[in-house]
Amino acid sequence: MSPENIIQLLTSELEGVVPKSSWGETSLFYNPNNLLPNGVYFCTIKEKNGDNDKASDLDRDSVFRVSIGAGKAHYEQLFGARPKRPEKGGIVDTGHDFTKLNELMPHPIYAWMSWVQILSPTKSTFDSVLPIIKDAHASAVVKFNKKTKST
C-alpha cells in the first residue's frame, strides 16, 4: 500500500475525515464541515524523518509510517503498560526495532500517549490494523463532539 492509497481509503470509508499535509506528514482529522480549525486527529502518515524523529529511519526508499492514536486500553491490551515519556529528542524504551517494516508496534516517541505505528504495511497487514484505526476515529468523534457541544 502507499500513503496515497491509505489516505484515500480512510477518507472514503470513515465519516468526516479531513487530511492536512505539512512537513512530510499527513494528519487525518475528524472534522466534519471543517467546524474546527483542525478537528481531532487520530492517525498520521509520515514519509520522512523529522529533526527529533529519526527512530523509524523514514528516509529509506518507499518507507512511511502510519501512526494511530490507539487509546490507553487498546494500547495496553496490545503491548502492556505504556512506557515513560522519553526525554526531549529521545525515544521510548520498549525493546522494539522501530525500523522494522509491516509490524504493528509502539510509536517510538508517542507510545507514552498510547500511539502505535506500522511502517509500510502490506494490504493484508493494513486490513488487520484497520479496526484500531476505526476505534481511534470513533474516539476522535467523541472528543470532537465534546469540543463542539458549546458552539
Cα(109)–Cα(126) distance, integer angstroms: 21
Predicted confidence at residue 7, as pLDDT, reads 97
The pTM (predicted TM-score) of the whole model is 0.94
What pLDDT, on the 0 to 100 scale, is given for residue 24? 79
**Average pLDDT per run of 10 along the chain, which is 151 residues long?**
96 96 91 92 95 92 97 96 93 96 97 98 97 97 90 51
Q: What's the pLDDT score for residue 122?
A: 98
Query: What local confidence, expressed as pLDDT, does residue 88 receive?
Result: 87
Question: Which residues neighbour 17 within 8 Å (Cβ) at sequence distance 6 or greater?
Answer: 10, 11, 28, 29, 30, 31, 137
The angle that helices 123-148 and 3-13 make with each other, rounded to 10 degrees, is 50
Q: Which residues, at least 6 apart from 38, have a Cβ–Cβ distance to it below 8 Å?
A: 20, 27, 29, 31
Q: What is the pLDDT of residue 150?
A: 61
